[in-house]
Amino acid sequence: MRVALLDDYQNVALKMADWQRLQGRAEVDAIHEHIADIDRLAERLKPFAAVMMVRERTKFPRALFERLPNLRLLVTAAMWNVAIDLDAATAHKVQVCGTRDWSFATAELALGMMIALARHIPAEDRAMREGRWQTTLGTGLHGKTLGLLGLGSLGSQMARFGEVLGMKVLAWSQNLTAESAAEHGAVLVPKNELLAQADVVSIHLKLSERTRGLLGREELALMKPTAMLINTSRGPIIDEAALLAHLREGRIAGAALDVYDQEPLPADHPLRGFDNVIVLPHIGYVVEQNYRLVYGDTLEDIEAFLDGRVIRPLNTLG
């Protein structure tokens, strides 16, 4: 069996698990470049019976499954992936499996981005390197209001961070109850009220048809002009055109983004040009602890498949 590890941007995938355990059973190749073109991708993956995906870095639509007759196993980091057409995978008899993930990394990054945005850390770092001294006036977070869209595993961690900083924490999601919010130190409020009151809005929702475009022009217009927006979830939850318009017009103080509609973010994308926007290359989950867990579980998924077993399945083959 030939195994492809996709989108190994940092050239570390082969160091994150004991792939020697597959010696004599499978050959593992790490692919470092991101291949967006479906024709090139299909040609590159044609020899492989197993493919490992790192989150949604690469899309796996029906058209790709149709062009990979040798593919039998698809492993994705974590236990859900909106970039995979699971119905197509099942129809083409491709077993899809997931992995565990280290859930602390993204919330930690969201905290860091919030502080960096409030205290202008990137701008002051640049100024220091250019020989300047104290060029901005920061905003202290103690006593401010943190609004969390989503209070699941990551959102609840962010709620605890906000509490430690002395912030008032508001929360909203479509199925959140007041009791559940209170358990995590937050107050449940309607979405529009959260957007209007929060000094920092941080998104911790999964991307779905219900959340795609959740923050559009009307929703962003509810935010204070002094408010900041953090997104470590998925880019399409925010209407990108609406966000760009609000930033250009100074209707919000700034944004810190780790996720985008198109990834990798194009080199000429306008989001790269704002001084009040922190842009990071989707590194919320990119820490060694998570990589070792994800690639280690991928190895286990492959070994189980070779043994005629399925662990951590995301679909069921008849």
The reply to whether 234 belongs to the active site is yes
In sequence order, what are the beta bridge partners of 149? 172, 203
Strand 73-76, strand 95-97: pairing? parallel
Residue of 204, 234, 246, 300 marked active site: 234
Would residue 263 show up in a list of annotated catalytic residues for this protein?
yes
For 21, 76, 235, the CA distances from 51, given in Å and listed in that order, are 17, 9, 25
* DSSP alpha helix (H) spans, the chain: 38-45, 62-65, 86-91, 104-118, 121-129, 153-164, 178-183, 191-197, 217-221, 240-248, 288-306
Q: Of 56, 219, 263, 300, which is the active-site residue?
A: 263
Measured CA to CA, the distance from residue 301 to residue 233 in angstroms comes to: 26
Residue 263: closest CA among 59, 126, 102, 62: 59
Inter-axis angle of helices 104-118 and 153-164, to 10 degrees? Answer: 40
Which of 282, 292, 309, 312 is an active site residue? 282
Instruction: Write the CB contacts of 76 (distance below 8 Å, at least 6 apart in sequence).
Output: 52, 53, 55, 84, 96, 97, 98, 99, 314
Q: Return the active site residues.
A: 234, 263, 282
